[in-house]
Structure 1
Amino acid sequence: MTRFEPDRGLTGRMVLTMFLLGLLYVAFMAVLIAVGTQAIVVLVIAVGFLLVQYFLSDRIALFAMHGREVSPQEAPELHGVIDRLSALADMPKPRVAIADSDTPNAFATGRNQKNAVVCVTTGLLRRLEPDELEGVLAHELSHVAHRDVAVMTIASFLGVLAGLITRFTLYSGLGRSRNQNGPPIGLIILLVSGIVYAVSFLLTRLLSRYRELAADRAGALLTQRPSALASALTKVTGEIARIPTRDLRAQQSFNAFYFVPALSGASIAALFATHPPLERRLEQLARISAELGRR
């Protein structure tokens, strides 16, 4: 347990979303078994991918984003903030890393509190004031405390499985095979896999947006300064919008980890976004500020 305050409304919606993903998984496997496909082979492969992602998520993310762990001597101020927040939240201090990137952002990864790492970019450190940085890091520590990386890894399993089965069907030629007494088995599998992947994708994105709102709330309540987090959100989102798109493409696949999405804009439908709109996040922080003012 930590001292991050829970949000029962958001938690309930997260549980419902996870339940729907589980229900979808059961229905998917039932259909595959009914049509007689050798789903067990693909299932074993998918479980292997899941385990690698689950146990090595911290190393994979740091390697992909060129982040490196730093000691208290190398980054005393950053370590100082995380020390204070970890003590305030009554949780183990995560490892601290810095990524040499001008994109102002931060992310937390790791399957649990003992294996967690919080990484910030040099661009974020240059742009934020101390209280704004504290708000961002409280947000990231909330992800660690609530095991959001593990939750999102498990939630994404169904989409990975559906994608692998689709590829297996196409490459094996099963998509062109036909049952002598019925419709083509391959086409049925492709259709079901495609539908499952689409629904899983949307539910996972919905879950990601919920967890971002929950992390905003928990971080703001921990520091008791929601205005600092709101200021950081506004500043960082504006900075990212001015960075050339080509510098952000390599980071789009890690949007679910980030404090703010690496690429945003009106051209991307909110339905497919990993993060809630900035306006909604700021509205929630304004409500929290009003709540704290009445206490």
Structure 2
Amino acid sequence: MHSHHNGLKTAALLGLLTGLILAVGYWLGGSTGLVIAVLFSLVTNTVSYFYSDRIALRAMRAQPVSEAEFPALYQIVRKLATTAGQPMPRLYVSPSMQPNAFATGRDPEHAAVAVTVGITRLLTPRELRGVIGHELSHVYNRDILISSVAAGLAGIVTMIAQLAIFLPFGGSDDDDAPNPAALLLMVILGPLAASIIQLAISRNREFQADASGATLTGDPLALASALEKISYGTQAAPLPADGQLTSAAHLMIANPFRGGGLSALFSTHPPMGERIQRLHQQAALTGGARPNLR
């Protein structure tokens, strides 16, 4: 339902980030620093993109599991992957009691789906299936690529801003030199604007994965009721905000950290209420009371 709109919005936000880089770069005058910043950011993000699966799995201490250990989980994932015409991803389980799940991997061939022990205990098989549909959709929609690109662009803005502090701006007789107050403002506001755009892209991809996932499972209400349960569960047991986990937060089905108020602007996920409402709308449109549990 929202998918065309979501794709355009993501493209527009990525364009905005690129524009921000050009604006900041132009304002600083295309220095060598600019080139270095861009190259450095490209390298670090390419590396993290190719290792995206390992980083997140390690952060959640997720272990690979066999079909013998988790037959029901394997069955759900296999059916959905087959329905989507995609290869079977690797399955992982994290010992965390917090109900959460994430998928990672740069493409369907390198995909990994991880669930926490907490979520397998909290959800019914039907709800878990809704969650896995959402997670697989992140992989099929190339969201790991999109979020890596967004992180890369935001990283470039931040690096340029940090470099700006050290760049020599000629003597005071130089009329073209940015004035120090404006420079300071850019150093603070540039990265802030970049991260706000980056997070807006992340929220947008969540809505998209909810919509595609519900289409894949044919059961929007299962995901809606799973999200309701998860939202209570994550608030009851927020994860410790350590650096490693913060980097994987955008991959999770629910933001693992608490927050309200202004944090809506700085959240990796849209408000649960809004996600649930959209799923109910989608169910109403598709008559989604009949899950295709083949």
Task: State TM-score, norm by structure 1.
Answer: 0.88
Q: Unaligned stretches of 5+ in structure 1?
A: none
Q: Please state if 1:221 is matched with 2:210.
A: no
- In the alignment, what sits opposite 1:206? 200
Paired residues of 1:133 and 1:232 also in contact (CA < 8 A) = yes
**Within 1, Cα distance between the matches of 2:12 and 2:218?**
29
**Secondary structure, counterpart of 1:38 in structure 2:** helix
Bigger mean CA deviation after superposition, 283-292 or 265-274: 265-274
- In the alignment, what sits opposite 1:11? 7
Q: Please state if 1:181 is matched with 2:173.
A: yes
Paired residues of 2:220 and 2:288 also in contact (CA < 8 A) = no
Please list the CA deviations of residues 75-100 of structure 1 after superposition, one character each: whole Å capped at 9, or x if unmatched. 22211111000011111221111111
- In the alignment, what sits opposite 1:230? 224
**Within 2, Cα distance between the matches of 1:28 and 1:145?**
34
Structure 1 position 8, deviation (Å): 0.9
Paired residues of 2:161 and 2:186 also in contact (CA < 8 A) = no
Residue in structure 2 matching 1:29, options 19, 25, 28: 25
Task: Give 1:88's aligned amino acid.
Answer: T
The alignment's C-alpha RMSD in Å is 2.3
Pairing of 1:152-191 with structure 2 (within 5 A): 152-170=147-165, 173-174=166-167, 179-182=171-174, 187=180, 190-191=184-185
Paired residues of 1:104 and 1:122 also in contact (CA < 8 A) = yes
Paired residues of 2:49 and 2:145 also in contact (CA < 8 A) = yes
Structure 1 position 58, deviation (Å): 0.7
**Within 2, Cα distance between the matches of 1:12 and 1:174?**
37
Residue in structure 2 matching 1:80, options 67, 75, 83: 75
Bigger mean CA deviation after superposition, 78-87 or 248-257: 248-257
Q: Unaligned stretches of 5+ in structure 2?
A: 290-294
Task: Give 2:18's aligned amino acid.
Answer: G
Residue in structure 1 matching 2:240, options 240, 248, 252: 248
Residue in structure 2 matching 1:91, options 86, 103, 124: 86
**Secondary structure, counterpart of 1:118 in structure 2:** strand
**Within 2, Cα distance between the matches of 1:63 and 1:32?**
39
Paired residues of 1:21 and 1:200 also in contact (CA < 8 A) = yes
Residue in structure 2 matching 1:139, options 134, 142, 158: 134
**Within 2, Cα distance between the matches of 1:294 and 1:256?**
28
**Within 2, Cα distance between the matches of 1:221 and 1:266?**
30
Paired residues of 1:106 and 1:258 also in contact (CA < 8 A) = yes
Structure 1 position 14, deviation (Å): 1.4
Pairing of 1:276-295 with structure 2 (within 5 A): 276-293=270-287
Please list the CA deviations of residues 216-274 of structure 1 after superposition, one character each: whole Å capped at 9, or x if unmatched. 1111122121111111000011011111x4x4323343221110100233245311111
Structure 1 position 70, deviation (Å): 1.7
Structure 1 position 294, deviation (Å): 8.6
Structure 1 position 189, deviation (Å): 5.3
Paired residues of 2:104 and 2:112 also in contact (CA < 8 A) = yes
Structure 1 position 37, deviation (Å): 5.3
- In the alignment, what sits opposite 2:37? 42
Classify 1:291/1:21 alpha carbon distance in 2 versus 1 (closer, same or farther; 3 Å).
Answer: same
Task: Give 1:237's aligned amino acid.
Answer: S
Paired residues of 1:108 and 1:140 also in contact (CA < 8 A) = yes
